[in-house]
Amino acid sequence: MKLPNLLDAKKRTNEEVKHIYLEDNYDSNTFKGQKYFLRTYGCQMNVHDSEEIAARLESLGFTSTDTIETADVVVLNTCAIRENAHDKLYGFLGRCKHEKEKNNNDLIIAICGCMAQEENVVNEIMTKHPYVDLVFGTHNIHELQALLLNRKEKQNIEVYSCEGDVYENVSYKRDSDIKAWVNIQYGCDKFCTYCIVPYTRGKQRSRSSKDIIKEVEALVKKGYKEVTLLGQNVNAYGKDIEGELSFADLLLKVSDTGIPRLRFVTSHPWDFTDEMIDAIASRENIMPYIHLPLQSGSSRILKLMGRRYTKEEYLDLYKKIKDKVKGCAITTDIIVGFPNETEEEFKETLDVVNKCKYDSAFTFIYSPREGTPAAKMEDKISLETKEQRLQELNELVNSYSLAANKEYLNKTVPVLIEGISEKDSNKVFGYTDTMKLVNVINAQDKIGEIIDVKITDAKSFSLDGEAI
Ligand code: SAM
Ligand code: SF4
């Protein structure tokens, strides 16, 4: 049994990160005929981790199922960013408990992901949820097969609070054969004062550029059309490995593989260099789309958040990107109601939104995360005020999303067609280079292709179009 520990999780040393090349070899007959149910909460990082978890389960012979009633193992890959993530998990655990008690005594219930790295969550699982069989963290997904094969304790908790290593030769059961996530970096060292990620995912550690390029080359060979490079702060890629490429150079090298579309998330405004902007502007296959989290438009709040840029610096960077990367779409993350955010400071956020006219934005009400510096700040702002601010912000953000989408009306744009539309089987859906969702008619036979689409209608969150 290994329990998470917040103090260990925030330690940062100069110890070199180990790059470990796994040589997994499991018997795919071990759990033949048994089924797994895998549910993912949270960000792209978790979605991609789940692709690894699925591959690990299948290496033991499990096949996937969409219902817990038919499952032999349930894996819940959790997120720790928002308060409602906790509520969602505990709500779903109730259903799993019921299923286990009423119908399936042997059901294995496993929890992993960022919540599994939280001390308070694991304490609650130990005291209130004894029917949970297995808890593992973000640092030992590679041990999943061994944990399932060697389960002895009633409740097996194996969570490491460490800086972390980099594991290679990882297999993924990718959700798509058209577009793929590729990790370039794990963890985070920014320690924004509201954020739990540096504690749940360890120190910032880059994969070697050779391994990244090898992975992308293999995806190109398989016919993938799009790759998104993943990290909490991709701009800082390589800084932790002596002699490694910068992120700008990595972008150029990955672009050289010939992948038709290259994207990346997430870019912290702090490390965004001119070289990066030039690299993005210089290549056709690097998409003109950047997610550039603002968090707040008030320099005082940004300082309290530990973001290390001011409102003015953010706006300068925004302008530079827009000037150099033609037609670039920019989206953002914004938090309202950081402790003691005044009405004036909130208005500054609205001011930045009015200046940047984002293509879209993820908006959050600040939620204290136990163990982070901001959680200790006394907060005099009521939840009601925060909710009003969120609503006002959302209305503004949505008006700009609609305006940005309307710019596309009657234009013909390239769209990568990904699949049949869930709402209307006569339509397919895909994304523009600027990451706009488009529902398209006359293109059922074009899945996996980048085609020209004439935009016929624009809504706040999607476009309609027809293949030409
Ligand atoms: N690394 C990315 C960056 O620096 O912008 C962000 C990653 S975080 C998983 C995604 C978003 O969650 C953040 O940009 C922030 O807006 C939001 N977030 C993180 N912690 C939060 C908290 N305690 N309360 C509300 N929103 C939060
Ligand atoms: Fe969290 Fe800040 Fe790291 Fe993003 S950069 S993951 S917001 S600590």
Is the CB–ligand 2 distance for residue 268 below 6 Å? yes
Name which residue sits closest to atom 2 of ligand 2, judged by CA: 192
* Cis before 65 (ω within 30): no
pLDDT of residue 442: 87
Average pLDDT over residues 68-95: 92
Taking CA atoms, 33 is separated from 5, 62, 100, 175, 277, in Å, by: 37, 7, 19, 22, 51
Q: Percent of the chain, pLDDT > 90? A: 94
d(CA 72, CA 106): 7
pLDDT of residue 402: 98
Is the CB–ligand 2 distance for residue 191 below 6 Å? yes
Torsion of CA 322, 323, 327, 332, to 10 degrees: 0
The 10 Å Cβ neighbour count of residue 384 is 8
In terms of DSSP H, where are the helices of 306-342? Answer: 311-324
pLDDT of residue 83: 74
Q: Which phi-psi region, left, alpha or beta, contains residue 252 (left: φ > 0; alpha: ψ -120 to 50)?
A: alpha
**Radius of gyration over alpha carbons of the chain, in Å?**
23
Which of the listed residues 192, 265, 334, 367 should we mutate to test ligand 2's pocket, taking the one with most ligand atoms within 8 A of CB?
A: 192
DSSP 246-258: PHHHHHHHHHHTT
The 10 Å Cβ neighbour count of residue 313 is 15
Distance of CA 274 to the CA centre of its chain: 25
The rounded mean pLDDT for the chain is: 96
pLDDT of residue 423: 87
The answer, yes or no, to whether residue 64 has pLDDT greater than 80, is yes
pLDDT of residue 454: 98
The answer, yes or no, to whether residue 103 has pLDDT greater than 90, is no
Choose among 389, 387, 337, 334: nearest CA to 362.
334
The 10 Å Cβ neighbour count of residue 139 is 24
Q: Percent of the chain, pLDDT > 70? A: 100
Burial (CB < 10 A; 0-12, 13-18, 19+), residue 334, is: buried
Average pLDDT over residues 283-303: 98
The answer, yes or no, to whether residue 153 has pLDDT greater than 80, is no
pLDDT in tens, 30-48: 999 999 999 999 999 999 9
**Residue given tokens 């293999």 in the structure block:** 218
**Is residue 328 within 8 Å of 322, Cβ to Cβ?**
yes
- The token pair at 388 is 């009003």
- The token pair at 117 is 């790295």
The answer, yes or no, to whether residue 225 has pLDDT greater than 80, is yes
C-alpha triplet 398, 400, 401: angle, nearest 5°:
60
pLDDT in tens, 408-435: 999 999 999 999 998 888 999 999 999 9
Average pLDDT over residues 269-281: 96
pLDDT of residue 229: 98
CA of residue 457 to ligand 1 center, whole Å? 32
pLDDT in tens, 244-260: 999 999 999 999 999 99
The answer, yes or no, to whether residue 205 has pLDDT greater than 80, is yes
How far is the first Cα of the chain from the last one, in angstroms, to the nearest whole number? 60
Which of the listed residues 199, 265, 268 should we mutate to test ligand 2's pocket, taking the one with most ligand atoms within 8 A of CB?
A: 268
pLDDT of residue 82: 78
d(CA 385, CA 317): 31
pLDDT in tens, 128-147: 999 999 999 999 999 999 99
The 10 Å Cβ neighbour count of residue 98 is 12
Name which residue sits closest to atom 1 of ligand 1, judged by CA: 232
d(CA 371, CA 393): 28
- Residues in contact with ligand 1 (CB, 6 Å cut-off): 43, 81, 194-195, 197, 232-233, 266, 268, 293, 295, 333, 335, 364, 366-367, 369
d(CA 212, CA 184): 7
pLDDT of residue 385: 97
